[in-house]
Chain A
Amino acid sequence: MLKYSLRRIIKLIPVLVAITLMVFTLMYLTPGDPALQKLTSQGGAVTPELLAMERHEMGLDRPFFVRYVDWVVNVAQGDFGNSFKDDQPVAVKLLKALGYTGALAAASTLFSVLIAIPIGVYTAIKKDSIFDNIVRVLTFTGNAMPNFLIALLLMFLFCIKVKFFPVIATASLKGMFLPTLALSIPMISRFARQTRADVMCQLSEEYVIGMHARGVKERIILFRNVLHNSLGSIITIVSLQIRVLIGGSVVTEMIFRWPGIGSLMMNSITARDYPVVQGAVLILSTLQVLINLLTDLSYYVIDKRISME
Chain B
Amino acid sequence: MKTEKPKLSRSQIKQLKLKRKVIIWGVVVTMILVLSFFAPYFLPYDPLETNAAMMRKAPSLQHLFGTDNMGRDVLSRLLAGARTSIFATIMLVIISFFVGTVVGVICGYYGGALDDLVMRFTDILLSVPQLVLAIAVAGMLGGSLVNTMIAIGITSWTSYARLARSHAMRIRQLPFINACRLTGCSDAHIIITHVVPNLIGPMLVNATLEIGTTMLSIAGLSFLGLGVAPPTPEWGAMVSESRNYLQLAPWAVFAPASAILLTVMLFNYFGESVCDLASSKEA
Mark A residues whose CB is within 8 Å of B: 14-15, 18-19, 22-23, 26-27, 29-31, 140-141, 143-149, 152-153, 155-156, 160, 243-244, 246-248, 250-251, 254-255, 265-266, 269-270, 277, 280-281, 284-285, 288-289, 292
B124 touches A15 (CB 8 A): yes
Known: A141-B265, A147-B220. A247 touches B137 (CB 8 A): no
Is the Cβ of A146 less than 8 Å from the Cβ of B220? yes
Closest to A147 in B: B220
B142–chain A nearest beta-carbon distance, Å: 8
User: Top 8 closest A-B pairs, CB basis?
Assistant: A247-B131, A269-B139, A144-B264, A149-B257, A246-B129, A144-B265, A30-B140, A285-B128
Residues B220 and A265 in contact, CB atoms below 8 Å apart: no
Interface of A is mostly: helix
User: Which one of B25-33, B54-62, B191-199, B246-254 contacts A?
Assistant: B246-254
CB-CB under 8 A from A281, the residues of chain B are 132-133, 136
The answer to whether B243 touches A141, judged by C-beta atoms less than 8 angstroms apart, is no
Report whether A148 and B239 are in contact in the complex, using a CB–CB cutoff of 8 Å.
yes
Whether, in the assembled complex, B200 has its beta carbon less than 8 Å from a beta carbon of chain A, the answer is no
The reply on B120 being an interface residue by CB < 8 A is: yes
**Most A-side CB within 10 Å, residue of B128, B139, B224, B236:** B128
Give the contacts of B223-273 with A (CB-CB under 8 A): 223-226, 236, 239-240, 243, 246-247, 250, 253-254, 257-258, 260-261, 264-265, 268-269
**Can you list 20 A-B contacts with CB-CB less than 8 angstroms, sorted by A residue number?**
A19-B127, A23-B136, A144-B268, A146-B219, A146-B260, A149-B239, A149-B257, A149-B258, A149-B260, A152-B246, A243-B129, A247-B132, A250-B135, A250-B224, A251-B220, A265-B132, A265-B135, A285-B128, A285-B133, A289-B127
A200 to chain B, nearest CB (A): 15
Name the A residues within 8 Å of B236 (CB-CB). Answer: 146, 148
Complex Cα distance, B236 from A148, in Å, reads 9
Do residues B128 and A288 form an inter-chain contact, with CB atoms below 8 A? yes
Report whether A146 and B136 are in contact in the complex, using a CB–CB cutoff of 8 Å: no
B258 cross-chain contacts in A, Cβ below 8 A: 149
The interface of chain B, by Cβ under 8 A from chain A, is 120-121, 123-124, 127-137, 139-140, 142, 212, 216, 219-220, 223-226, 236, 239-240, 243, 246-247, 250, 253-254, 257-258, 260-261, 264-265, 268-269
Q: A19-B128, A292-B127 are in contact. Are A247 and B136 (CB under 8 A)?
A: no
A86, chain B: closest CB distance, angstroms: 19
A116 to B231 CA separation, bound complex (whole angstroms): 41
Q: What total count of A-B pairs have CB within 8 Å?
A: 129
What is the minimal beta-carbon distance from B241 to any residue of chain A, in angstroms? 12
A contact residues around B223 at 8 Å (CB): 146, 148, 251
A119 to B142, CA, bound (A): 43
- Identify the closest chain B residue to A269 (Cβ): B139
Given contact pairs A148-B257, A153-B254, a sample of 8 additional A-B residue pairs in the complex whose CB atoms are under 8 Å apart = A26-B136, A146-B223, A146-B264, A149-B254, A244-B130, A247-B134, A269-B226, A288-B128
CB distance from B257 to the nearest CB of A (A): 4
Q: Which residues of B contact A289 (CB under 8 A)?
A: 127
Residues of A within 8 A of B121 (CB): 18
Inter-chain contact A266/B135, CB cutoff 8 Å: yes
- The CA-CA distance from A153 to B250 in the complex, in Å, is 9
B130 — which chain A residues lie within 8 A by C-beta? 243-244, 247
C-alpha spacing A21/B162, complex, angstroms: 23
B112 CB, nearest partner CB in chain A, Å: 19
Chain A residues with CB under 8 Å of B123's CB are 15
**Cα separation A23 to B127 with both chains bound (whole Å):** 13
Q: Provide the residues of chain A in CB contact with B124, threshold 8 Å.
A: 15, 18-19, 22
Give Cα distance in the complex from A27 to B258, angstroms.
Answer: 36
Can you name the residue of chain A whose Cβ is closest to the Cβ of B125? A22
Q: How far, in whole Å, are A153 and B261 apart by their CA atoms in the complex?
A: 13
A288 in contact with B224 given A26-B136, A144-B261, A149-B260 (CB within 8 Å): no
- Complex CA–CA separation, A31 to B223 (angstroms): 23
Complex: A160 Cα to B253 Cα, angstroms: 14
Q: With A141-B265, A288-B127 as known contacts, state yes or no: A152 contacts B239, CB within 8 Å.
A: yes
Alpha-carbon distance between A277 and B220 when the two chains are bound, in angstroms: 18
Q: How far is the CB of A228 from chain B (nearest CB, A)?
A: 26
Q: Is the CB of A250 within 8 A of B140?
A: no
